[in-house]
A and B are shown apart, each in its own frame.
Chain A
Amino acid sequence: MASAVETAPTPAGASSPTLRVLRDKLGDGLTGVDEWRGDLAISVSRRAWLEAARTLREHPELDYKLFLDLCGVDWLDKDGHDERFEVVLHAYSVSHKHHVRLKVALPENDPRLDTLSGVYKGANWFEREAWDLYGITFMGHPNLSRILTHEEFVGHPMRKDYETPKRHLLKEAKQWLLKVPEGSEHMIVNIGPSHPAMHGAFRVQVLLDGETIQDAEAEIGYMHRNFEKMAEERSYWQIIPYTDRLNYCSSFMNGHGYALAVEKLLGVPAPPRAEAIRVILSEFSRIMDHFICIGANVVDLGAITPFFVVFRAREAIYDLLEACCGARLTVSYVRIGGLAQDVPDNFDALCKAAVVSVRDVTDQMERLLTRNPIFANRFREIGVMGAEDALSWGWAGPCLRGSGVAYDVRKDHPYSGYEQYDFDVPVGTVGDCYDRYLVRVAEIHQSLRIIEQALTKLPKGPVITDDKKVALPPKSEVYSNIEALMNHFKLVYEGILPPSGEVYGYTEAANGELGYYIVSDGRKFPWRMKVRPPCFAIYAAFSEMIKGGMLADAVAIIGGLNVIAGELDR
């Protein structure tokens, strides 16, 4: 994709200040630039990598403060790629509302690169992941160890020459994540992997002095199934059900984001009715997700009633999803280019009933919690995260907005018609657990506003594109004429064949910016599909946040971060 800067007839991204600044700063270090489907991608040499990332973040004209994603790509035996490996960074500038992709090629025999963990705090875990899955070494990394696979794993599973069915048995789990200082009487306590306060199977080991946490280290990967490797062996629509298993509390939104990313790759938009339905169901899913986060969070603190209160509304939303597609939890309702089928006739009524139910339980929940001193005292001034740090860790969504940064993809880069709806982006001021709670509650109200507007404007028409290379023909046609039948066959066994190229598609999921970085080589399977999982970046900060605090506060903090293992471990 990358073309030499000098030889490109009309230099891609020529007007972009990013390119100008980087070119001034790096000179020869900038090796290529490409702009496709609105994504600016800049390739740099290995020497210039650290400098380039630092410039992106610190240069006032660029200000790419928000770390989004860092991942490896394996170009094994691919024409047009002299070097086997590639490391790709995605970052975002909140002030200039602009994404950037920074790429560097690494040779097969020496895949080493400077660590960015000194530039972006969030790079730490993402680089560990790139090492774990691709064997790319990050020089100067403070703790370059396995993160998604286990200690006894052999090889790097995302490499193209790693045989997919190969499994490795973990015989002895890692007992100590932390070192107990010599002669210390401090106590080591494991929270998780199976613990009621850990929302899923993940583990934190803490070193306690009394009830104060001296040191903490997180271990994840218990639910790792390598969704991204599976995606490399599935056609584009076979991937949809897997996306449901990312953040399974709001599965519809994952599919929505995925479909948009593939639609961006294909250049095939979904029809307006499908987009409006997607918005409605996504907002309901967001509400559910927030309910679960808040409900479970307060359960951890000992208040069980609000949990049952909010789950009443969740049932109404599940009924709505079931009426639309037959499934409740893992819905698989989106399709590339639209939706599997139109909504039922009573969709409007079901939505309105759900809205009433949500409004009702939200009011109750707020009466139970917001001014409840027991609750507020457990949340206030706990787990404080400053705006600058939150951006550096790669936080997004309600957690980032709780820290006072008003970045919301729906507002700043509207998709699926969000620009038509009037809504606010609530932000916090302190960045503590209480702010994150308040933001979530406020967002529930905003989501209801969006749903109500979308319902009144819900356009008529088809719910899936009529592009025959993307959407299956209607069954009535398939069974009655050879053209549609062949169309159906080809699409099912051959899949969708996108153009070669790469896109980063991003949406505002319940936990923040959910990104899909899709690299296509024109075949039926994606060459690479990287999910930017919002809670991976959020949880990366957790062990730092709880250090010096009380053990009981750690429990309050983790619930409010809403870490979902399906998305965390992929």
Chain B
Amino acid sequence: MPTFTIDGKQLEVPTGTTVIQAALAAGIYVPYFCWHPDLPVDGNCRMCLVEIERMPKLQIACNTQVTDGMVVRTNSEKAAQARRSTLEFLLVNHPIDCPVCDQAGECYLQDQYMKVGLHDSKIEIEEKVKKRKVVDLGPIMLDAERCVLCSRCLRYESTVTGTNSLQFVNRGNVTQIATFENRPIEHEYAGNLADVCPVGALLSSDFRFKMRVWFLKESESVCPGCSTGCNIYVDQRDDVPERLRPRRNVEVNKSWMCDPGRALYKEIAVTSRVSGARLKQAKGWKGTSVAAALDEIGSWLKGSGNSVAFVASPQATNEDLFAFSVLARSVGGLLDFRVGDPQLRVRERLDQVLQRADRNPNTQGALDLGLARDGVDQIVKRCAAGQIKALVLLGPELLRNPANLDALAKVPFIAVMATHEGPELDRVHAILPLAMWAEVEGTFTNYQRRVQRLRKAVAAPGDARPGWELAAGLLQRSGGTLAATSAREVFARLAQAVPDYTALDYKLIGSTGRALRLPDAAAAEARV
């Protein structure tokens, strides 16, 4: 454990720590382009130069390991001058593009000009070297003029996806990045290229020209696309999500996420959302208030005695599932969630990067909460036998399987909490509007049994509300109570009731989650 001094601060760091890691951890600003916490060090941009005592030349902080007794100055006049010159060189051929560049607002060049540059220009427009612009690489748009040749994208392609699509071509002033014959990037992790690019050279085709980033507000969340549970930011403006971005979590997704996951924001602010409750009547659907729909469902539950069944969904948050299971236990009747047996694939990899075969974010949570109880097959069988008088669904998955239709047709009353309209909703008798993952506070438990928080990023449409609130409404109408008025309180109840979750609360889960112990066999399976 070497001890060293940086800007007058004495720090002790683990052996092998680089100066830039130590500085950033201590909250000391060191500018950089090519260094990235989840990529190998390359040391080519020369932006992180610092002065180290007894070393005659300035050193790059990203590739210098801390040694005992080292004295580092990040902000000496010499280092500041060197950085300013480095930045000036990087800008020599940079086009005057900010007004038409999506990176503006999250551009390392802009940030560092204000922090370490502030120099005047010495270059005329005519002197700049022209390169290729607007090269369509499928999910990515390449602008070679804006590139600072940091090679982050090259290293990403070689070490994370192993696809090596991008390379440097030519030399000197005319060096640029390119794919072979301008072929598009075809793997499912292309979006990360736009994120690793510190400037506007690689931009997301999907997000391009949609929104100026300084209008966006970010919320921490978790991707609902599969059981991996990548940490993300939901970027929204005026309650419309504009994009999803990975949020660094070394234990789960590092700095990455997959492209199918990135696209999930498109399902949120759409017109096909269920925004109000409705009940089926002789003449067709009739819109009602949520309270009236809950009353109707509640009276069916009351009148059906034990002949009721509850089917939840691993798409729901732990809070929703917990409230739903409390409801099921309070009313009596059958309960399960395993439509299509997601529990069998929860730890199965789909590829060697992030994605998993179980396309639900919270199968593990449903298992932990004991929702795997009576078996979906059993419930369907009982429906077919006419033994179920009322069926309550948290999510419409059960309705989507054609094999179940005959059985479900025999149930006199089906209520579903749904987020989106679809033909399957015609088979039910009451629809409750359900808020989506980006519209609620809650938690998911991923394949590692890591409990992670979602935060409300946007408002739910119309009357839509979290599943736990709807379940609590039904619970109240059947004589029970959840004793919670917020997701935080539901989680507190959950923590009291579910072993292993006992020690957890929202504050402890924090922004990067808390991992619970996995059974040994599952742990071996989950090992990366």
Q: Which residues does A use to contact B, with CB under 8 Å? A: 468-469, 477, 479-490, 493-494
CB of B265 closer than 8 Å to a CB of A: no
Task: Judge whether A486 and B121 touch: CB under 8 Å.
Answer: no
**Residue A482 contacts which of B105, B114, B121, B214 (CB distance < 8 angstroms)?**
B121
A40 to chain B, nearest CB (A): 29
Interface centre among A479, A483, A485, A488 (most CB of B within 10 A): A483
Question: B93 — nearest CB in chain A belongs to which residue?
Answer: A482
Complex alpha-carbon distance, A490 and B114, angstroms: 7
- Residues 90-106 of chain B, each 1 if its beta carbon lies under 8 Å from chain A, else 0: 01001111110000110
A470 to chain B, nearest CB (A): 11
Complex alpha-carbon distance, A484 and B212, angstroms: 19
Complex alpha-carbon distance, A486 and B91, angstroms: 11
Q: Knowing A468-B118, A489-B110, say if A482 contacts B104 (CB, 8 Å).
A: no
Complex alpha-carbon distance, A6 and B412, angstroms: 79
Complex alpha-carbon distance, A489 and B96, angstroms: 12
B94: which A residues are within 8 A, CB to CB?
482
B212: which A residues are within 8 A, CB to CB?
493
* Interface SS of chain B: loop
B255 to chain A, nearest CB (A): 23
A484: which B residues are within 8 A, CB to CB?
120-121
CB of B346 closer than 8 Å to a CB of A: no
Q: Knowing A481-B125, A482-B96, say if A490 contacts B119 (CB, 8 Å).
A: no
Task: Judge whether A485 and B96 touch: CB under 8 Å.
Answer: yes
CB of B207 closer than 8 Å to a CB of A: no
Complex alpha-carbon distance, A484 and B121, angstroms: 8
Known: A469-B118, A482-B96, A485-B96. 10 other contacts (CB 8 A): A477-B121, A479-B96, A480-B125, A483-B91, A483-B117, A483-B119, A487-B113, A487-B118, A493-B212, A494-B114
Task: Judge whether A493 and B105 touch: CB under 8 Å.
Answer: yes
A and B contact pairs by CB, cutoff 8 A, 29 listed: A468-B114, A468-B118, A477-B121, A479-B96, A480-B125, A481-B96, A481-B121, A482-B91, A482-B94, A482-B95, A482-B97, A483-B91, A483-B113, A483-B117, A483-B119, A483-B121, A485-B96, A485-B99, A486-B109, A486-B110, A487-B118, A489-B98, A489-B104, A489-B105, A490-B110, A490-B114, A493-B104, A493-B212, A493-B214
Q: Place the interface of chain B in its size category.
A: 20 to 34
CB of B123 closer than 8 Å to a CB of A: yes
B114: which A residues are within 8 A, CB to CB?
468-469, 486-487, 490, 494
* Interface SS of chain A: helix
Minimum-distance CB pairs A-B, first 5: A481-B121, A493-B214, A483-B121, A486-B110, A486-B113
B200 to chain A, nearest CB (A): 12
Question: A467 — nearest CB in chain B belongs to which residue?
Answer: B118
Chain B, 44-92, CB within 8 A of any chain A CB: 91
Complex alpha-carbon distance, A97 and B104, angstroms: 49
Complex alpha-carbon distance, A480 and B113, angstroms: 16
B110: which A residues are within 8 A, CB to CB?
486, 489-490
A483: which B residues are within 8 A, CB to CB?
91, 113, 117, 119-121
Complex alpha-carbon distance, A115 and B19, angstroms: 54
Complex alpha-carbon distance, A101 and B123, angstroms: 50
Complex alpha-carbon distance, A486 and B199, angstroms: 12
B233 to chain A, nearest CB (A): 18
Task: Judge whether B98 and A485 touch: CB under 8 Å.
Answer: yes
Complex alpha-carbon distance, A487 and B119, angstroms: 10
Complex alpha-carbon distance, A489 and B99, angstroms: 8
A487: which B residues are within 8 A, CB to CB?
113-114, 118
Complex alpha-carbon distance, A485 and B121, angstroms: 10
Question: B107 — nearest CB in chain A belongs to which residue?
Answer: A486
B105: which A residues are within 8 A, CB to CB?
489, 493
B237 to chain A, nearest CB (A): 14
Q: Knowing A469-B114, A493-B105, say if A486 contacts B119 (CB, 8 Å).
A: no
A434 to chain B, nearest CB (A): 56
A420 to chain B, nearest CB (A): 32
Question: A468 — nearest CB in chain B belongs to which residue?
Answer: B118
Complex alpha-carbon distance, A489 and B109, angstroms: 11
Complex alpha-carbon distance, A468 and B94, angstroms: 20
Task: Judge whether A481 and B123 touch: CB under 8 Å.
Answer: yes
B111: which A residues are within 8 A, CB to CB?
490
B95: which A residues are within 8 A, CB to CB?
482
B145 to chain A, nearest CB (A): 11
Q: Knowing A493-B105, A493-B214, say if A486 contacts B98 (CB, 8 Å).
A: yes
A486: which B residues are within 8 A, CB to CB?
98, 107, 109-110, 113-114
A272 to chain B, nearest CB (A): 23
B121: which A residues are within 8 A, CB to CB?
477, 481-484
Chain B, 121-136, CB within 8 A of any chain A CB: 121, 123, 125
A142 to chain B, nearest CB (A): 39
Question: B101 — nearest CB in chain A belongs to which residue?
Answer: A489
A482: which B residues are within 8 A, CB to CB?
91, 94-98, 121
Question: B105 — nearest CB in chain A belongs to which residue?
Answer: A493
A469: which B residues are within 8 A, CB to CB?
114, 118
Interface centre among B110, B123, B212, B214 (most CB of A within 10 A): B110
B97: which A residues are within 8 A, CB to CB?
482
B298 to chain A, nearest CB (A): 32
A490: which B residues are within 8 A, CB to CB?
110-111, 113-114
A468: which B residues are within 8 A, CB to CB?
114, 118
Complex alpha-carbon distance, A460 and B171, angstroms: 50
A489: which B residues are within 8 A, CB to CB?
98, 104-105, 110
Complex alpha-carbon distance, A239 and B166, angstroms: 47
A479: which B residues are within 8 A, CB to CB?
96
Complex alpha-carbon distance, A179 and B318, angstroms: 58
Question: B87 — nearest CB in chain A belongs to which residue?
Answer: A483
A485: which B residues are within 8 A, CB to CB?
96, 98-99
Question: B146 — nearest CB in chain A belongs to which residue?
Answer: A482
Complex alpha-carbon distance, A483 and B116, angstroms: 12
Complex alpha-carbon distance, A483 and B97, angstroms: 11
B94 to chain A, nearest CB (A): 5
Q: Knowing A469-B114, A486-B110, say if A480 contacts B214 (CB, 8 Å).
A: no
A488: which B residues are within 8 A, CB to CB?
98
A464 to chain B, nearest CB (A): 16
B238 to chain A, nearest CB (A): 12
Interface centre among A480, A484, A485 (most CB of B within 10 A): A485
A471 to chain B, nearest CB (A): 12
A481: which B residues are within 8 A, CB to CB?
96, 121, 123, 125
Question: B109 — nearest CB in chain A belongs to which residue?
Answer: A486
Complex alpha-carbon distance, A481 and B114, angstroms: 15
Interface centre among B114, B119, B212 (most CB of A within 10 A): B114
B143 to chain A, nearest CB (A): 14
Complex alpha-carbon distance, A469 and B114, angstroms: 7
B91: which A residues are within 8 A, CB to CB?
482-483
Question: B121 — nearest CB in chain A belongs to which residue?
Answer: A481
Complex alpha-carbon distance, A480 and B126, angstroms: 10
A155 to chain B, nearest CB (A): 19
B140 to chain A, nearest CB (A): 23
B378 to chain A, nearest CB (A): 48
B464 to chain A, nearest CB (A): 20
B107: which A residues are within 8 A, CB to CB?
486
B125: which A residues are within 8 A, CB to CB?
480-481
